[in-house]
Amino acid sequence: MADACSVGPDHTAVRVALWRALHTEIDPHPHVLDDRIGLRMIAPDDDWRGRPDMAPGFSKSMRANVVARARFVEDLVEERAARGVDQYVILGAGLDTFAQRRPEIASGLGVFEVDQPETQAWKRQRLTELGYPIPEWLRFVPVDFEAGDSWWDGLVAAGFDIARPALVASTGVSMYLTEDAIAATLRQVATLAAGSTFAMTFMMPLDLTDPSERPGRETAERGARAAGTPFISFFTPERMLELARENGFAAAHHVSAASLADRYLTHWPDDLRPSGGEEFLVATT
């Protein structure tokens, strides 16, 4: 990996970026998302495709999942932007490359990427080295969650306007948080101006996933525990909708992984579908 800073992005952000790149290399056209910029940022060794978690068979449902959820959020951003929403917040941005890949949309927005300071410093440096200057409309919001920093305070300090509507997205994060922490995030986002949207993935309990997908899910959970980031929160769709309404959202609906497959992956083989159990909450103020 490129030694841009002494501390780089966390392993989860790297893995997601590599799966997105692998999608463009081995999956059928048309691609759900064409993202090689994350791969260029990481600059892994030539044998990165030989990693166990990159094996085509093992990673197929995870690849499908990460590209479908990213495409869903980006389509939502485009749709809301057409309605006049001009602020986009990415909680746990990792190595997201929306700003670099979609400048025709992003440049008309205020894009706020929230993540750990080390990841953000590394990412800024790598983007600059690769010839991607940081435009004025792209704001990095470094937040040291372990030190108790407030992402909301950081967002406002970076120029976010709480009086204007926004789209806030959080994907692949909630399973690592307690229910209390998730509820606190929902309460905070629900205070945004009318017309704001929160799109968040959540993990369903294992017994609600398709039996054929449970071995892969169990493998993912074991890997997360071994890395020191265990999955700790699981929700039924009904409970997640209830939680959104309890914490101040005017409306909320559930978007299933199956519906994302129907939307984006109908041209793929039947066995290439998003991994079971990660679904979307879309809530509005």
Distance CA 41, CA 21 (A): 11
Q: Per-residue pLDDT for 199 more than 60?
A: yes
pLDDT tens for each residue of 35-53: 999 999 999 999 999 998 8
Q: How far is CA 60 from the centre of its chain?
A: 18
Pairing of strands 197-203, 278-284: antiparallel
Place of tokens 């066995």: 271
Phi-psi region of 131 (alpha: psi -120 to 50; beta: other; left: phi over 0): left
Question: 254: which 2 tokens?
Answer: 């559930």
The predicted pLDDT at position 2 comes to 43
Q: Per-residue pLDDT for 151 more than 60?
A: yes
**What's the mean per-residue pLDDT of the chain?**
90
Q: Per-residue pLDDT for 106 more than 90?
A: yes
Q: Which residues contact 243 (CB under 8 A, 6 or more apart)?
A: 179, 182, 183, 186, 235
User: What are the strands, taking DSSP E only, across the chain?
Assistant: 87-91, 110-115, 138-142, 167-170, 197-203, 251-255, 278-284
SS3 240: helix
- Please name which of 76, 59, 82, 66 lies closest in space to residue 31, comparing C-alpha atoms: 66
- In the chain, what percentage of residues exceed pLDDT 70? 93
The predicted pLDDT at position 268 comes to 74
Split at pLDDT 50, 70, 90, the class of 84 is very high
The predicted pLDDT at position 149 comes to 84
In order of 12, 125, 152, the CA distances from 118 in angstroms are 14, 11, 19
The predicted pLDDT at position 3 comes to 46
Place of tokens 């986009």: 88
Predicted structure pTM score: 0.93
- Using a CB cutoff of 8 Å and minimum separation of 24, what contacts does 140-143 make? 140/113, 140/115, 141/112, 141/113, 141/114, 141/115, 142/115, 142/116, 142/117, 143/114, 143/115, 143/116, 143/117
Question: 209: which 2 tokens?
Answer: 């996933």
DSSP secondary structure code for residue 30 in this structure: S
Q: 117 with 10: CB under 8 angstroms?
A: no
